[in-house]
Amino acid sequence: MLSTSFRNTLIASTLLVGTSILVSPAALANDPSPASDPGEVSSTVQLINRVTFAPGATRTVQPVEAQTDIAFPLGTVTIRNNHPDGWNLNVASANEGVLEFGTHTLSYSTITLTDTSDITETPVNPTTGGLLATGDFSARVAGGTEAISVSALLTVPTTVAAGAYTDTLTFTLTSK
């Protein structure tokens, strides 16, 4: 019985000492690898791709004498694009660069933009249409540019009929 009691005391003492070592504060304080659980968070930003064109006020021209290449304001365009590779802005004339009034016409050429900081402008021949401007990602365009003036060069002959001449311009904004 003495040997059984000694053996039970020895086992109990060993368990008590082993448990003390496993949970002692000194052992926890010296743990070189603290617990961590990294987690990835994410978000998606939606693509914004908008263009608006506001035609300018009707401009009166005087056909007293033949006038060539008059700076003719067409209106303003506002673009907004946040594609990381940038954007392209195309323009097309429904009448291939001609303002029409019934069977009468006035020709205009070279559509251009003003205020083109951070925008690469490419003057367009309205007869064929095409790329008017391009740009890389910029905060100004991603936030929505203010209205950028669009103009053309107008030719007014002395023999033009009086009336309201019109054309339709279509602006197309695409991401690169």
For 133, the token pair is: 């401007």
- Mean residue pLDDT of the chain comes to 85
- Each residue of 156-166: pLDDT tens digit? 888 889 999 99
Query: How is domain 49-175 classified at the CATH fold level?
Result: Immunoglobulin-like (2.60.40)
Find the DSSP H helices in 24-109: 25-29
Strands, E assignment, the chain: 49-55, 67-81, 87-93, 98-101, 104-113, 120-121, 130-135, 148-156, 169-175
CA 135 to CA 18: how far, in whole Å? 71
| Reported pTM | 0.74
Domain boundaries in the chain?
A: 49-175
- pLDDT per residue as tens, the chain (176 positions): 555 554 554 454 544 444 444 555 555 556 677 888 888 999 999 999 999 999 998 888 877 777 888 899 999 999 999 999 999 999 999 999 999 999 999 999 999 998 778 899 999 999 999 999 999 999 999 999 889 999 999 998 888 899 999 999 999 999 99
